[in-house]
Amino acid sequence: MQQNLWGEKIPRPRKKKNVIPLQTATPYAITDNDCAYFGHTVRAWDLAGCTICIDCQINIFCPQCIAKHPQDETAIAILCERHEEPEESQQVSA
Ligand SMILES: [Zn+2]
Ligand SMILES: [Zn+2]
């Protein structure tokens, strides 16, 4: 009886289980920097053309309504609903 050393059948490796990783149910992370990514979430504009961001509380003014924010020198300029033009990208120089 001849033995063939190399003719042995190699035992098949065990079939790996199909492990489906659990998906974390977080659509997106809310960061401190949301505004930088998604834009500020402005409150209703007041009559003077000012508002604040409800997320970061920054003062915002509309440069078309007023020249500058009456209270805050560092307020940022965003066109208000009346002045923003949807067809153009909002490029407001600070
Ligand atoms: Zn903001
Ligand atoms: Zn305006």
Instruction: Kindly give the distance from the C-alpha atom of residue 24 to the centroid of ligand 2, in angstroms, as a whole number.
Output: 41
Instruction: Kindly give the distance from the C-alpha atom of residue 69 to the centroid of ligand 1, in angstroms, as a whole number.
Output: 16
* pLDDT for res 74: 95
Instruction: Kindly give the distance from the C-alpha atom of residue 64 to the centroid of ligand 2, in angstroms, as a whole number.
Output: 5
CA distances from 91 to 3, 57, 77, 84, 94 (A): 82, 21, 10, 10, 9
Instruction: Kindly give the distance from the C-alpha atom of residue 7 to the centroid of ligand 2, in angstroms, as a whole number.
Output: 84
Instruction: Kindly give the distance from the C-alpha atom of residue 23 to the centroid of ligand 1, in angstroms, as a whole number.
Output: 30
In a domain, 11, yes or no: no
Instruction: Read off the pLDDT band of 15 (50, 70, 90).
Output: confident
> Residue 82 belongs to what domain range?
39-94
* pLDDT for res 88: 57
In a domain, 13, yes or no: no
In a domain, 76, yes or no: yes
Residue 48 contacts residue 65 (beta carbons within 8 Å): yes
Residue 55: closest CA among 73, 71, 43? 43
* pLDDT for res 31: 58
Structural domain count of the chain: 1
